[in-house]
Amino acid sequence: MKRMLAAHSVEDFRALARRRLPKSIFEFVDGGAGEELTLRDNRHGFDRIRLLPRVLTDVSRPDITSSIGSETRPTPLVICPMGSCSLVWPSADIAIARAAAARGIPYTLSTMSTTGMETMARSVSGELWFQLYVLKDFDFNRQLVHRAEELGYSTLVVTVDLQAGGKREKDLRNGVSIPMRPTLRHLVDGIMHPHWAMQLVRSGGPQFENVRGFLGDTSAGLTIAARVGRNLHAGFNWSDFDRIREWWKGRLMVKGVLHAGDAARLVAAGADGIWVSNHGGRQLDGAISSIDALPAIRQAVGNDVPLVIDSGIRTGMDVIKAKARGVSVAAIGRAALFGAAAGGEAGVARVLDILLDEVTLGLTLAGVPRFQQVDSSLLA
């Protein structure tokens, strides 16, 4: 707890996570695909943006509320879908979702989460979104969508950038898989990180609960990306999207969009919002950073379509920069997971409070009273 209280940034929590987790698990969370060109560029894209603050404006009561369509929300944050979270902390999905719910932040449950959607719905009182990986079996896809609807998930997030699992070289070298297939290296790592190892043993080891029994043979010891990848629907096309749109009557957002033309066509096909994302640099290495793709997408879809962004967000100032480039709200993934790795729900709560405090201070120093007033005029 002392170390968490001494942490004052997401980067501090990243350092705590690195210290607490075995090298293979930390690299699974922190790493990207290929040479990690896109992973690095996600950060560089935010670092390059400069702001032009205003003065003599009343910022005595900074307002960080945001909006998605006609809905006003207490913060400008959403939690990204993340698979395999229980590798870092038992029931990490629930810990993150509870900390988010306490702050009015929606939590997006991944198809490949290590907590089932029924368990999550019973455990968390806040707003839940469900993210769909489109698998080869469309009957099973429909079952997942129907389960989410029955359980009261408010938004369906359809991921479209996972035609196959990315080549994540660190995972290939480290042999990270679910279920865990211990090697001598893993055993040594466990001995060097006894608290993490004991928690993993007590929890029984993570499983992909939403697709338990669907992914086939669990004895092969495939990496997570490879095991998931061989079940993905590489032929997913516009007709398939139309079918999913027919199944889901509520708000539907499409995640993994970087091309402005795709964004415009998706909105025309019935998408209620676009989630600008390169999967955190974990899929196509060399893809454009999300923050650099954002302006063209905003121009293509107009001002009224909700836009979410992820990939590379580490500070409250990143959230403000994204808003200045046209986003509605920003989604965080690794930042929340670093918090969970450092201290479960309390660690996540601390990370979220740091980010929200940074947004508040950033608005004040930029001379902008309300988050919803941030626009391109703030860009230098």
* Catalytic (active-site) positions: 279
Q: Hey, what amino acid is at 79?
A: I
What does residue 72 show for φ and ψ, rounded to 5 degrees? -90, 135
Please give the distance of CA 293 from its chain centroid, rounded to a whole number: 17
Return phi, psi of residue 169, to 5°. Answer: -65, -35
Q: What is the dihedral of CA 250, 255, 261, 262, to 10 degrees?
A: -70
- Residue 364 to residues 50, 128, 169, 223, 370: CA-CA distances in angstroms? 16, 31, 42, 45, 9
Spatial separation of the C-alpha atoms in residues 221 and 219, rounded to whole Å: 6
Cβ neighbours of residue 297 under 8 Å, at least 6 residues apart? 257, 258, 260, 263, 274, 276, 307, 326
| DSSP-assigned beta bridge partners for residue 329 | 308
If one counts every other C-beta atom within 10 angstroms of the C-beta of residue 14, the result is 23
For residues 82 and 128, give the distance between their C-alpha atoms in angstroms, rounded to a whole number: 13
Q: Round to whole Å and give the CA distance between 167 and 24.
A: 16
Cα 243 off chain centre by: 25
The 3-state DSSP class for residue 103 equals coil
Q: Is residue 354 a contact partner of residue 313, using CB atoms and an 8 Å limit? A: no
Amino acid occupying residue 365: L
- Supply the DSSP symbol for 376: G
